[in-house]
Amino acid sequence: MINGGGSLDGEGASAWPLNNRSKDPNCLPLPVSMRLDFVTNSRISSITSINSKNFHFNIFAYKNITISRIRISAPKDSPNTDGIHLGSSTDIRILDSFFGTGDNCISMGPGSKNININNVHCGPGHGISISSLGGSKMDADVTGFVVRNCSLVGTSNSTRIKIWVPSYPLLVSNLTFEQIKLRNVSNPIFIDQQYCPSRISDQKVILFFDLFSFLNFNT
């Protein structure tokens, strides 16, 4: 269990100008404020993370965790400062929290299953994202997401699904987004099947969608 009302200050402003990996493959990734791998049955609550150099929280291969009452803060122009990034994790609950970042408030990568996000505020940032899918033949399917009673203010997206091109076959299924409040959001629902930031590609995406619900999006 991690809790207690303290703050993590990543002092990211000193490092963000050095984030040059998109142009220089030899550039090492900036550090994550908190990385949590291969943990079962845990809880994170009442923590603040400020100005991470990279992701605030990177959670990989977790099973059964509740994250609640956390606060994430970074400027809207800070690169790659995702609030929480999930990968290959199951039975995750993110509740009653505030996210303001320069990237995704919450991003869920390949292999994420049974994710419940409730009563979360996002803004600024890129919204709540299922992202970077199909980039590897090892990528696992994503299924069972419920995003409910959330508000997004001043974000580039509300809900975004991002698929690499070219991509390996992948299934995205059983997604529910409901009771979502929006204000000054550029793209309420954005499914990007041609994510290819460093070059132009005419190759095809192989991705299967099943059982999506987008209900009661309000401005």
Q: Catalytic residue numbers?
A: 103, 126
3-state secondary structure (DSSP) of residue 13: helix
4-42: burial string, b at 16+ Cβ within 10 Å, e else: eeeeeebebeebbeebeeeeeeeeeebebbbebeeeeee
Cα(55)–Cα(82) distance, integer angstroms: 5
What sign does the dihedral 53-83-90-189 (CA atoms) show? negative
Query: Which stretch of DSSP H or E encloses residue 218?
Result: strand 207-218
**Cα–Cα distance between 174 and 183 in angstroms, integer?**
26
* Cα distance between residue 113 and residue 115, in whole Å: 6
- Determine the straight-line distance between the first and last CA of the chain, rounded to whole angstroms: 37
